[in-house]
Amino acid sequence: MSDSNQNRQQIIRIVFLLAGAFLLLRAADLQLLDDTYHNKSTAIAVGKYTLYPSRGLIYDRNGKLLTNNNPVYDVMVTYNQVDAGMDSLKLADILGLKMPDFRKRLNKDFRNYRYSKSKPFVFVSTVSAQTAALLQESLYEFPGFFVQTRNVRGYPHRNAAHVLGYIREVTPKEVKELDYRPGDYIGGSGLELEYEKELRGVQGSRFVLKDNLGREVSPYKDGENDTLAVSGKDLISSIDIELQKYGEELMQNKTGSIVAIEPATGEILAMISAPTYNPNLMTINRERGKFYNALLVDSLKPLFNRAVMAKYPPGSIFKSVIGLIGIQLGVVNPYVGMSCPGYYSYNSVRVGCRNHPYPADMGVALKYSCNAYFIDAFRDIVEIESFYKPHIGLDTFDHYLYRFGLGNPLGIDFPQEQKGNVPTSEYYDKIYPRDKGSWKSPTIMSVGIGQGEMEMTGMQMANLAATIANRGHYYVPHLAKKFVDDDFLIDEKYRTPVRVGVEPINFVTVVDGMESVVASGTGRRGQVPEVRTAGKTGTVQNPHGEDHSTFIAFAPVDNPKIAISVYVENSGGGSRYAAPIAGLMMEKYLKGQISDSKKIVDKTMKETDLNGG
């Protein structure tokens, strides 16, 4: 038998030998030479300590601290380092646990991938500082257990809960989709959620070699894999905490919202949703679940942020918009009056009006909030093409409403902002099909007085006030001014004026009218002593109970520093609560205090309980 490849057997043997030698060298390297693993005989595992960055703080516009970081302590355990013979009773006693609970916490379902016998898991979360200190002293008796420190939020002011939002533990879904690990904290609402990325900071980690009792033997690879934690950035918000606090006091035992904006910048000075809650209740601790559930089931929905999420019919404050658009389109002459018989009727439809002097021009009509005048103006706009083509007029009207920031979210730097509602011709076409008589301007005339399908959020109302204060433009309202020690500029869109398409000159009569509303009209109770103020009241018919009271205003008239919207549910006419509250807020902001002549109003407002509690 011929075998010409005999010589290849040697090559195969050499390859075998070389591979074996290679393995042997590597084994010698690991077992004899490598000093990566100091104290080899005792180390059993590389442990990873997560270094939690401190979360960025939040300040108000004047540098007052709104949130701070308080340490909490989690007791961690690594199952297979636990000494079965330890004094479990003592440990349970320190931690305030009963034995069955103690055993349940220790014996997790290790078939579940979330738990491993050799990796630490949370045994008891958020124990008090005293408990943690007590445990630290006797920790050596309980191998496998250790205490991990983390920071949770505390709130020195107890105010602005909705603005700040809360932090919570991440959900399994977030762990899967975002760069978080189980047990990490994340912003759950408000600014904490909006600016999570900036506030969070970057986690660091430290790797150590551990022995079988979980004790640190030495750094792993001299710390070459370690990374430092980078603290989150501190946020300076636009909120004025004193104003916010005062607003919350005024709104106590009432339901509704206040939003105050600095017209020249769009910065939100105060954003109040009533009823509110103490943010310290939502800080992460062992009582939190209880408070959270109580807030969830409260019939007044304190967790619902009415300032940006509640959609309200604007009522008569909407007349200012109708006037402005009418003038801009040239269909309404603001200097021509219209007689008001005390109602407005078309065929059988009749809308009542108050008994008031003759509206000689638009200013007077605003002053007395004449329904007939503005329904007529609205109909003129809708009939701009012809009576029979109302959709052209309404589309034109809507075009301006969208530019005013209505019907769409404004795009504020805050989660869950609602868009309100603008009545559209598509919508009416659906309800009143064209083949069945269609719809005409009288069909929808209730829009002319801010009722019907028209809906706005408190934020949009305040932004309307700011737009009028600026005579034709606004800055998208926002809550962030800047981040400390950082050249971070707020987004371009918050620094660019948005023009609403109504010429500044066309604001003159409307602003004059609004000034007379406060000086001697329906909004007298919203006056700010010695400051020229413009405003507009609204009373929103409420088929379910008392009417809602609303008021938008800005002051001073010539150089506006503050624009505001107040909405008080179930409180009757706009002049009764909304106007005085707005007046007090503006005075507080402009003067820093309430003048003596207003003290009695201040007291009445604070003490009024509209929630029947």
Of positions 68, 69, 70, 80, contacts other proteins by CB under 8 A:
80
Count of alpha carbons within 13 Å of 439, Cβ hemisphere only?
23
- Rounded to 10 degrees, the C-alpha dihedral 345/346/351/354 comes to -30
Whole-angstrom Cα distance, residue 399 to residue 309?
Answer: 23
* Shortest Å, Cβ 31 to other proteins: 4
Whole-angstrom Cα distance, residue 263 to residue 265?
Answer: 6
In 3D space, the residue among 34, 61, 36, 10 whose CA is nearest the CA of residue 490 turns out to be 61
Shorter beta-carbon distance to other proteins: residue 119 or 301: 119
Shorter beta-carbon distance to other proteins: residue 52 or 207: 207
* Shortest Å, Cβ 182 to other proteins: 14
What are φ and ψ of residue 334, in 5° steps? -65, -15
H or E element: which one contains 564? strand 562-568
34 binding other proteins? (CB under 8 A)? yes
What are φ and ψ of residue 236, in 5° steps? -100, 115
408 binding other proteins? (CB under 8 A)? no
Shorter beta-carbon distance to other proteins: residue 52 or 346: 52
By the 8 A CB rule, do 428 and 393 touch?
Answer: no
- Chain positions 181 to 240 lying near other proteins, rule: CB under 8 A, are 207, 209, 211-212, 220, 225
31 binding other proteins? (CB under 8 A)? yes
20 binding other proteins? (CB under 8 A)? yes
In 3D space, the residue among 569, 566, 559, 572 whose CA is nearest the CA of residue 584 turns out to be 566
By the 8 A CB rule, do 189 and 217 touch?
Answer: no
* Shortest Å, Cβ 151 to other proteins: 23
- Chain positions 39 to 78 lying near other proteins, rule: CB under 8 A, are 40-46, 48
DSSP label at residue 492: G
Degrees (nearest 5) of the Cα angle 351, 521, 255? Answer: 75
- Residue 217: strand, helix, or coil: strand
In 3D space, the residue among 550, 556, 542 whose CA is nearest the CA of residue 591 turns out to be 556
Shorter beta-carbon distance to other proteins: residue 14 or 133: 14
Shorter beta-carbon distance to other proteins: residue 29 or 385: 29
- Residue 563: strand, helix, or coil: strand
In 3D space, the residue among 518, 512, 522, 521 whose CA is nearest the CA of residue 530 turns out to be 518
- Per CB under 8 A, the segment of 38-46, 147-155, 278-286, 401-409 that binds other proteins is 38-46
Shorter beta-carbon distance to other proteins: residue 225 or 520: 225
> Binding string to other proteins for residues 296 to 335, with x set by CB under 8 A, is what?
----------------------------------------
By the 8 A CB rule, do 74 and 122 touch?
Answer: yes
Shorter beta-carbon distance to other proteins: residue 3 or 137: 3
Q: Which residues contact 207 (CB under 8 A, 6 or more apart)?
A: 46, 47, 48, 49, 219, 220, 221, 223, 225, 226
Q: How far apart are the first and last CA of the chain?
A: 109
- Chain positions 87 to 126 lying near other proteins, rule: CB under 8 A, are 117-118
Shorter beta-carbon distance to other proteins: residue 103 or 117: 117
What are φ and ψ of residue 208, in 5° steps? -135, 155
The count of chain residues that interact with other proteins, using the rule CB under 8 A, is 44
H or E element: which one contains 350? strand 349-352
* Shortest Å, Cβ 66 to other proteins: 36
In 3D space, the residue among 287, 259, 290 whose CA is nearest the CA of residue 274 turns out to be 259
Chain center to CA of 177: 22
- Per CB under 8 A, the segment of 7-15, 264-272, 431-439, 534-542 that binds other proteins is 7-15
* Shortest Å, Cβ 34 to other proteins: 6
603 binding other proteins? (CB under 8 A)? no
Of positions 16, 115, 343, 488, contacts other proteins by CB under 8 A:
16
By the 8 A CB rule, do 186 and 8 touch?
Answer: no
- Per CB under 8 A, the segment of 22-30, 124-132, 480-488, 601-609 that binds other proteins is 22-30
23 binding other proteins? (CB under 8 A)? yes
Shorter beta-carbon distance to other proteins: residue 117 or 603: 117
By the 8 A CB rule, do 257 and 567 touch?
Answer: yes
Shorter beta-carbon distance to other proteins: residue 23 or 99: 23
* Shortest Å, Cβ 208 to other proteins: 11
What are φ and ψ of residue 170, in 5° steps? -70, 155
Amino acid 581 reads I
By the 8 A CB rule, do 552 and 564 touch?
Answer: yes
Shorter beta-carbon distance to other proteins: residue 40 or 90: 40
133 binding other proteins? (CB under 8 A)? no
* Shortest Å, Cβ 17 to other proteins: 7
Shorter beta-carbon distance to other proteins: residue 26 or 64: 26
219: left (phi over 0), alpha (psi -120 to 50) or beta: beta
Whole-angstrom Cα distance, residue 21 to residue 18?
Answer: 5
By the 8 A CB rule, do 151 and 231 touch?
Answer: no
Cα→Cα distances 331→40, 378, 379, Å:
90, 9, 10
* Shortest Å, Cβ 108 to other proteins: 16
Shorter beta-carbon distance to other proteins: residue 155 or 220: 220
- Per CB under 8 A, the segment of 13-21, 184-192, 393-401, 451-459 that binds other proteins is 13-21
148 binding other proteins? (CB under 8 A)? no
- Per CB under 8 A, the segment of 8-16, 358-366, 455-463, 554-562 that binds other proteins is 8-16
Shorter beta-carbon distance to other proteins: residue 23 or 508: 23
H or E element: which one contains 598? helix 596-607
293 binding other proteins? (CB under 8 A)? no
- Chain positions 545 to 564 lying near other proteins, rule: CB under 8 A, are none
- Per CB under 8 A, the segment of 30-38, 329-337, 517-525, 584-592 that binds other proteins is 30-38
Shorter beta-carbon distance to other proteins: residue 38 or 481: 38
* Shortest Å, Cβ 414 to other proteins: 34
- Give the residues lining the site for other proteins (CB under 8 A): 1, 3-6, 8-9, 11-13, 16-17, 19-20, 22-24, 26-28, 30-32, 34, 36-37, 40-46, 48, 80-81, 117-118, 207, 209, 211-212, 220, 225
